[in-house]
Structure 1
Amino acid sequence: MTIFIYIGAALAEIAGCFAFWAWLRMDKSPLWLVPGVASLCLFAWLLTLVDAEHAGRAYAAYGGIYIISSVMWLWLAEGARPDRWDIIGACVCLGGAALILFGPRS
């Protein structure tokens, strides 16, 4: 279930941040901020659903999912195909996130 929460959180965060990007960098209407703020609130709420003992660990592990999702956004939403360095870097980060979240604890 954790992976689905992280994916939902990543999509909500990227969409919310993109709304601000569109307003400030693409000269879109300030009305873009309304769904942007709602999306960022959804992102924050979703992260509270992760079954982790400490918030910092949940956030750190989420970082890997966020990076993968951002590379996918780059490709699917912005039409820029990721290069091999994007993909390799994202995989390294995802491996680190898995270690943080699922590593054995004493």
Structure 2
Amino acid sequence: MTVARSLLLFVIAALAEIGGAWLVWQGVREQRGLVWVGAGVIALGLYGFVATFQPDPNFGRILAAYGGVFVAGSLIWGMVVDKFQPDRWDVIGSAICLVGVLVIMYAPRP
């Protein structure tokens, strides 16, 4: 159950961080205004809190592993929200990152 909880927390963190960054992008680059930017800042702050609920006590490990989730999640967000079409290298790269997440977070340790 701990692995399932951890994976769920990574998904929630990705939604908060990627969504927050997207909102800021929309507010600034697409000129949608400060309400979008403010919502993005709040979502980015929520991301920081979600990471603290990971069961592993090591900040560096959590953030390193989350980096791989962020890579794959960003491509998925782009596909769903912005109709981005990743090429095979995007897919291969994100798959490598997700394998890295599994190794960093869930490899057996003494």
Cα deviation for residue 67 of structure 1 reads: 1.1
Aligned partner (choices 31, 35, 38) of residue 34 of structure 1? 38
Paired residue total: 106
Cα deviation for residue 15 of structure 1 reads: 0.9
1:101 aligns with 105
Aligned partner (choices 18, 25, 32) of residue 21 of structure 1? 25
Does the CA contact (< 8 Å) of 2:22 and 2:40 recur in 1? yes
For 1:69, the aligned partner's letter is: G
Q: Which runs of 5+ in 2 are unaligned?
A: none
Cα deviation for residue 104 of structure 1 reads: 2.4
CA RMSD of aligned residues (A): 1.0
Cα deviation for residue 6 of structure 1 reads: 0.3
Runs of 4+ in 1 over 6 A off after TM superposition: none
Matches within 5 A, 1:58-69: 58-69=62-73
Aligned partner (choices 54, 61, 66) of residue 58 of structure 2? 54
Cα deviation for residue 62 of structure 1 reads: 1.1
Aligned partner (choices 76, 80, 87) of residue 80 of structure 2? 76
Scaled by the length of structure 1, what TM-score is found? 0.94
Q: Deviations over 1:3-56 (max 9, x none)?
A: 010000001001111111112211111111221111111111100000112111
Q: Which runs of 5+ in 1 are unaligned?
A: none
For 1:33, the aligned partner's letter is: V
Q: How far apart, in 2, do the equivalents of 1:16 and 1:74 lie? A: 13
2:91 aligns with 87
1:5 aligns with 9
